[in-house]
Amino acid sequence: MTRLHQVLSGAGPYDAVTTQAFAWRELLGERAGGIHAEAIDPRVRGVDPLERLEPAADDVLVFHYSAYAPRLRRLLELPQRKLLVYHNVTPPRYLWRHHPLVAVQCSLGRAQLPTYARAADVAAAVSGYNAAELESAGARDVRVVPIILDPARLDSGGGRAAAGPLVLCVGRLVPNKRHDLVLAAFDAWRRAHAPDAELLCVGEPLGEAYRELLEGLAGDGVTFAGGLRQEELNAAYRRADVLISLSEHEGFCVPLLEAFHFGVPVVARPAGGMREVGGDAVLWTDDPDPALVAELLELAVRDGGLRAELVRRGRARLDEFAPERVADRVREAVDAVVAA
C-alpha cells in the first residue's frame, strides 16, 4: 500500500504546521506514514528525525513547507512522488534587525520555493493567498487545502470569568505579528474606556531579546503567557471577550477559527490569507491607528447586538472550514499525487 510520509522543516509544541501534520496523519489513517522533521523541539512527541525516513519506492512524500531547511531540500532528489503543501514563509524584512539568523533562513526559504514548486508532482497551499505566491514561484494548478481545525482539541480545559474585559492575542511573538500595535491599541482602549481591562498575549517569543523589547512597550494590564498547553489556551478563549490581531503577514491564521469556535468576536487587520478565513465575521481595519482599534475593541466588547451578530457569522465561517469539508480537499490532493 502507498504510504504518505510527511516531512517538515521543524516541529514545535505550539507550531501550526506541526499540528497540521498530526491532523493529516489522523485523517490519512492506515495510509499515513511517519512524520519527520529536520529540527525537533524536545517537547514534541511523535515526530522522527529526517534520517529515519525510509520511504518505499511507491510511497509519497508530503512536504509541509514553511521555512528554509537544507536537509529537507535533499529529499527533493528522491524518486518518490511529492506533494507540496505551502504554509508560507515570513518575509525577512521583518526580521533582519531582530533575529538575523531567522531572517537569513526566511530569505533562503523564500528564495528556494521555486525549487520545491518545480519538484512537486502536486502543489497545494493552505489559502488562496499562499496559492498565488506558490504560482508565482512556478507551481501549476495549485490546490487550496485549508488548515484542518479539529474541534475535539478545543473541548478540554475549564475557564473562569476575568475581573475585567479580557483581550486575547494569539500568535508567536514575532515582529510581523505587530504586537507593538496591539499593545498601543490596548493601552489606548484601557485609558479611554476600560481601566480594568486585561490583555493576554499567548505565543512563544522569537527570542529573549524580542520578548524583553515587547515587555518594555507594554503598559498596565498586559500579560505575556508564552506558549500555552491546549487546555490552557482553550481556557483563555473561554475567558476572552475579544480576540485581536494586527498582524501584517499571515498565510492563514488559525486563531480566527479558534475564536469563532469559542464565540469570541474578532478585531483584526486583513493580512495575507486572513480575509479568506474570517470573511464577514470579523471587524476588519486596514488602519492600525491605536485610537481606531481601541474604538473597535469598545464596540466588540460592549455592543451586545454586534457581538451576537459576529458570533453568528463566525459559526457560519466555521462551517465553511468544517473538518469534513477540509478532509475532502486533503483526500483530493492525496488522490491526485497518488495518481501522478
Partner 1 sequence: MTAPEEALAKASERAAALRAEGRYPPAGEAPLDDTFIDDVPGIDTLAEWAVIEVDPDVLFSTRRLGGPVTALKRLLLRMMRQYHVEVEARQTRFNIALVERLRLLEQRLERLEGSTRE
Closest approach of partner 1 to the CB of residue 2, in Å: 36
Closest approach of partner 1 to the CB of residue 213, in Å: 8
Separation CA 54–CA 5 (nearest Å)? 9
**Phi and psi torsions of 261, nearest 5°:** -60, -40
CA atoms within 13 Å, Cβ hemisphere of 71: 13
Separation CA 19–CA 230 (nearest Å)? 11
Q: Which is nearer to partner 1, 34 or 314 (CB)?
A: 314
Separation CA 157–CA 233 (nearest Å)? 8
For residues 226 and 284, is the Cβ–Cβ distance under 8 A? no
Grid coordinates belonging to 208? 529573549
Q: Which is nearer to partner 1, 141 or 303 (CB)?
A: 303
Coil/strand/helix, residue 143:
strand
Closest approach of partner 1 to the CB of residue 305, in Å: 3
Q: Which is nearer to partner 1, 180 or 332 (CB)?
A: 180
Closest CA to 67 of 19, 20, 126, 107: 107
Closest approach of partner 1 to the CB of residue 272, in Å: 16
Closest approach of partner 1 to the CB of residue 303, in Å: 5
Closest approach of partner 1 to the CB of residue 274, in Å: 15
Q: Which is nearer to partner 1, 82 or 269 (CB)?
A: 269
Closest approach of partner 1 to the CB of residue 24, in Å: 25
Q: Which is nearer to partner 1, 13 or 164 (CB)?
A: 13
Q: Which is nearer to partner 1, 145 or 297 (CB)?
A: 297
Residue 199 β-bridge partners: 167, 222
**Helical (H) or strand (E) element with 198:** strand 198-202
Helices (H) and strands (E) counted in the chain, each on its own, are: 13, 13
Residues making contact with partner 1 (CB under 8 A): 41-43, 91-94, 96-98, 100, 107, 175, 178, 180-181, 184, 188, 191-192, 207-209, 217, 280-281, 283-285, 287-292, 294-296, 298-300, 303-306, 309-310, 313
Closest approach of partner 1 to the CB of residue 42, in Å: 5
**Phi and psi torsions of 248, nearest 5°:** -100, -10
The dihedral of CA 170, 102, 15, 314: what is its sign? Answer: positive
Q: Which is nearer to partner 1, 191 or 261 (CB)?
A: 191
Closest CA to 198 of 243, 225, 167, 240: 167
Q: Which is nearer to partner 1, 98 or 118 (CB)?
A: 98
